[in-house]
A and B are shown apart, each in its own frame.
Chain A
């Protein structure tokens, strides 16, 4: 148990990332407001990127940009997670834009962003069975 705890403290940055992910997920699950769901989604993505970025760090080394012709791995951190995070961020931006445009359209149409109300409006039982 104690070992577990020290490990958890060692990986504190990954812990924060996971907590962010769970906060985002909770927002997505519990908040009825569509806009806040989108925000939750973004927080979730941020948590993922933090986790990914933190996996690439190596203590005491510098950014992977070759300086003064030194190309020894012992001087630089791992470049792979940086590249993957870049991809992830672009994906996240695209997805947020799409979600926000859906939100805008729905708000213009129904004048509410409450998902429960929206589901109720489209549920079959409202129209006496005939649809």
Chain B
């Protein structure tokens, strides 16, 4: 019986002897009915192996042919696309023009991309934040194991970064700066490159460094799971509600009280700034919880 680490090294080299696995696996649940049909592992294995070998050969040939045909078609298509960087491409049409030329006036955002994703095509972006939320739920479902399957201490957790004065001091210095940079990117999303997604990811990196150095347990005491959940709830709820308002007024041709303000000012661009903040919090919490679930199986 090989240990876990040996197996780990084994698959790193890409070779796992599956026949060994086969014998290890427990046979069918022993019920009175199961005993009626005798189980022949050896006979079974030989036929299974033969079938797999045959299947693999056919699969490899098919997959190679498929890949070759596919890449040929793709390259031909690329050769037939409008040339790279040309200003007469079909994509440079009235849609892009309006986003650039009227975007600042209509949405109040100097950053045209932010104006486009959070105002013109806001429904896509609403869906996109919910993709993150869906993934967060799915990862929670798969990885969450509070109490029951407590992860035993692994080697890297024995190595205590907190004891190292250099790492500790540097992190103490760096974490606030990273957090501040993230908040800056978040708040200036409508004025400069950046916005909720990038700002949130940067903020999450600060939290992840904290959890890495000070340990998972201390991090979950500092940022409790409940708080994370409530932040996500509030941010997504606010996002959905505010977009409901603007979609509803837009579709029914009602007057919206949200004004774009003076382009270029920090408090401008109507809903884009609060939406960026909401998205930023969602992204930050999601990324941080991904890290925590992978690290210790709970928030």
Q: Per-residue CB proximity of B119-143 to A under 8 Å, as 1/0?
A: 0010011001101101100110011
Interface positions of B (Cβ within 8 A of A):
4, 7, 11, 14, 16, 18, 21-22, 25, 27-28, 33-34, 37-40, 44, 47-48, 51-52, 56, 60, 63, 66-67, 70-71, 74-76, 78-81, 83-87, 89, 91-92, 95-97, 99-105, 110-113, 116-117, 121, 124-125, 128-129, 131-132, 134-135, 138-139, 142-143, 192-193, 197, 263, 283, 290, 293-294
Main secondary structure of the interface of B (DSSP, over half): helix
Interface positions of A (Cβ within 8 A of B):
4-5, 7-8, 10-15, 18-19, 21-22, 25-26, 29-33, 35-36, 54-61, 63-66, 71-73, 76, 78-83, 86-87, 89-91, 93-95, 97-98, 100-102, 104-105, 110-114, 116-117, 120-121, 123, 125-131
21 CB < 8 A contacts A-B: A8-B78, A10-B83, A65-B113, A65-B193, A79-B113, A83-B116, A83-B124, A91-B131, A93-B135, A94-B131, A94-B134, A104-B142, A114-B11, A116-B56, A120-B21, A120-B22, A125-B48, A126-B22, A130-B34, A130-B37, A131-B28
Whether B85 and A59, one on each chain, are in contact in the complex, defined by CB atoms closer than 8 angstroms, is: yes
CB distance from A53 to the nearest CB of B (A): 11
Which residues from A are CB-within-8-Å of B37?
A: 128-130
How many Å lie between the Cα of A6 and that of B48 in the bound state?
A: 51
How many Å lie between the Cα of A105 and that of B100 in the bound state?
A: 47
How many Å lie between the Cα of A5 and that of B100 in the bound state?
A: 34
How many Å lie between the Cα of A127 and that of B92 in the bound state?
A: 61
Whether B28 and A128, one on each chain, are in contact in the complex, defined by CB atoms closer than 8 angstroms, is: yes
How many Å lie between the Cα of A31 and that of B125 in the bound state?
A: 34
How many Å lie between the Cα of A129 and that of B129 in the bound state?
A: 46
How many Å lie between the Cα of A116 and that of B129 in the bound state?
A: 35
Whether A76 and B100, one on each chain, are in contact in the complex, defined by CB atoms closer than 8 angstroms, is: yes
Which 9 interchain pairs have the tightest Cβ spacing? A94-B135, A117-B18, A59-B85, A64-B112, A114-B16, A7-B79, A83-B117, A127-B28, A18-B74
- Chain B residue, CB-CB nearest to A122: B25
- Chain A residue, CB-CB nearest to B78: A14
Whether B128 and A91, one on each chain, are in contact in the complex, defined by CB atoms closer than 8 angstroms, is: yes
CB distance from B117 to the nearest CB of A (A): 4
- Chain B residue, CB-CB nearest to A113: B11
Which residues from A are CB-within-8-Å of B117?
A: 83, 86-87
How many Å lie between the Cα of A40 and that of B93 in the bound state?
A: 35
Whether B48 and A79, one on each chain, are in contact in the complex, defined by CB atoms closer than 8 angstroms, is: no
Whether A22 and B71, one on each chain, are in contact in the complex, defined by CB atoms closer than 8 angstroms, is: yes
Most buried by B among A111, A114, A129: A111
CB distance from A10 to the nearest CB of B (A): 5
